[in-house]
Amino acid sequence: MKELSIFIDESGDFGEVIERPAYYLVTLLFHEQKNDIDKNVKKLEESIKNSGFDFEYIHTGPVIRREDVFSRLPIDERRKLLFKMLNFIASSPITYEVVSVNRKEAIDKISLSGRLGREISNVVQKHNDFFDSFDKIIVYYDNGQIELGAVLNTVFSIHFANVEFRKAEPQKYRLLQAADFICTMELLKIKKNENRLSKSEQQFFYRPQELKKSFFKMIDKKRFGK
């Protein structure tokens, strides 16, 4: 049986827009099950352990902002973690698509749900031959936002009869963490283009052109169709 896994992560929320500009992003990371990633995952986890870390979940945003379990780590240690995830993504047989909605065009829950539904449906239709080549499609999402979960369920159920939804914890799936990483990078790309990176983001990526040359360029190579 030919099987496709789709790992979902989002940036933004369905609440009232307080700060502008604001964006809602959804990253869909694709992994064909015939392409084994066990060695990639093992290499990543060994690298994390050998560096003296013990993190099941490399949560990109908190790593950059020095939050949660990463609050006591100095910047160079946190940067090591992100480069490990970057290398994992670069070496893994995965691709992705990202949907971005400007919140000034979707100011409430109903309009945002509608826009996201249309945009995700467009992705599915654009790659229809690819999706139709699989006997089974499994969508992994942590159900962090009920509204997005409903949109995903509706869109994929309409397009596919062979889809299964699984609630997944990021701690148990490195590919969910990879989707989180990519989603964060896509948002950083928007913010950099608009010259509004936060102070913590500027401090973290302190080397000139590092974001563009080391992170954005590599991530873009994994975009579907590249």
User: What is the pLDDT, as a whole number, of residue 91?
Assistant: 98
Instruction: Kindly report whether the peptide bond that precedes residue 170 is cis, defined as omega within 30 degrees of 0.
Output: no
Backbone angles phi, psi at 173, to 5 degrees: -130, 110
**DSSP at 3:** E
**Amino acid, single-letter form, for residue 132:** D
Q: What is the arithmetic mean of pLDDT over 81-105?
A: 97
pLDDT digits (tens, 9 = 90+) for 12-70: 999 888 777 899 999 999 999 999 999 999 999 999 999 999 899 999 999 999 999 99
User: Strand (E) positions, the chain?
Assistant: 3-11, 23-32, 95-102, 136-141, 163-167
Mean pLDDT of the residues in the chain: 96
Confidence of residue 225 (pLDDT cuts 50, 70, 90): confident
User: What is the pLDDT, as a whole number, of residue 128?
Assistant: 94
74 pLDDT more than 80: yes
Backbone angles phi, psi at 23, to 5 degrees: -135, 150
Alpha-carbon gap, residue 134 to 144, rounded angstroms: 27
pTM: 0.96
Q: What is the arithmetic mean of pLDDT over 80-105?
A: 97
pLDDT digits (tens, 9 = 90+) for 112-160: 999 999 999 999 999 999 999 999 999 999 999 999 999 999 999 999 9
User: What is the pLDDT, as a whole number, of residue 127?
Assistant: 95
Alpha-carbon gap, residue 43 to 142, rounded angstroms: 25
End-to-end Cα, the chain, rounded Å? 26
Tokens at residue 188, please? 């950083």
Confidence of residue 102 (pLDDT cuts 50, 70, 90): very high
Q: What is the arithmetic mean of pLDDT over 190-199?
A: 96
User: What is the pLDDT, as a whole number, of residue 19?
Assistant: 76
Contact 173, 140 (CB under 8 A): yes
Cα dist. 28→96, 100, 181 in Å?
5, 12, 12
Pairing label, strands 136-141, 3-11: parallel
**DSSP at 223:** B
Contact 20, 155 (CB under 8 A): no
Confidence of residue 96 (pLDDT cuts 50, 70, 90): very high
Confidence of residue 169 (pLDDT cuts 50, 70, 90): very high
Per-residue DSSP letters for 84-99? HHHHHHHHSS-EEEEE
